[in-house]
């Protein structure tokens, strides 16, 4: 099995079967409706974090906790590192096997 085939299988695990809509805890099957609901929830969570920052070391685990706090009401995978390739429009995101290494490099630069 090729890397692309594995990525496709893993990515499809994130989607509602037969759609391009992410599996979500809200039961929403329409992509636009999910975007709007996500936007509403995320705005509220970010406002809360602005007023009450999450304490901890600014490391990968801390970022995962922040991600989980922001998206946990919507997605079961919130706070987990992605295990498949991702591309939106013309932007290709970091390959999953490189995420931890890239985060370490970025955090090291930010914290120095």
Q: What is the pTM of this model?
A: 0.83
3-state secondary structure the chain: CCHHHHHHHHHHCCECCCCCCECCCCCCCCHHHHHHHHHHHHHHHHHHHHHCCCCCCCCHHHHHHHHHHHHCCCCCCCCCCCCCCCEECCEECCCHHHHHHHHHHHHHHHHC
pLDDT in tens, 77-112: 999 998 877 766 677 778 888 999 999 999 999 888
Whole-number percent of the chain with pLDDT over 90: 61
Question: What rounded mean pLDDT belongs to the chain?
Answer: 87
The reported pLDDT for the residue numbered 81 is 92
The reported pLDDT for the residue numbered 91 is 72
Is the pLDDT assigned to residue 15 strictly greater than 80? yes
């Amino acid at each position: 099995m090729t890397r692309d085939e594995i990525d496709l299988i893993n990515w499809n695990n994130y989607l509602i079967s037969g759609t391009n809509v992410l599996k979500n805890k809200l039961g929403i099957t329409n992509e636009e409706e999910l975007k709007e609901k996500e936007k509403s929830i995320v705005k509220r969570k970010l406002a809360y974090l602005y007023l009450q920052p999450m304490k901890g070391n600014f490391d990968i685990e801390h970022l995962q906790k922040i991600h989980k706090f922001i998206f946990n009401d919507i997605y079961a995978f919130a706070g987990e590192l992605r295990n498949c390739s991702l591309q939106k429009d013309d932007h290709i995101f970091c390959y999953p096997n490189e995420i931890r290494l890239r985060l370490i490099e970025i955090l090291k630069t930010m914290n120095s």
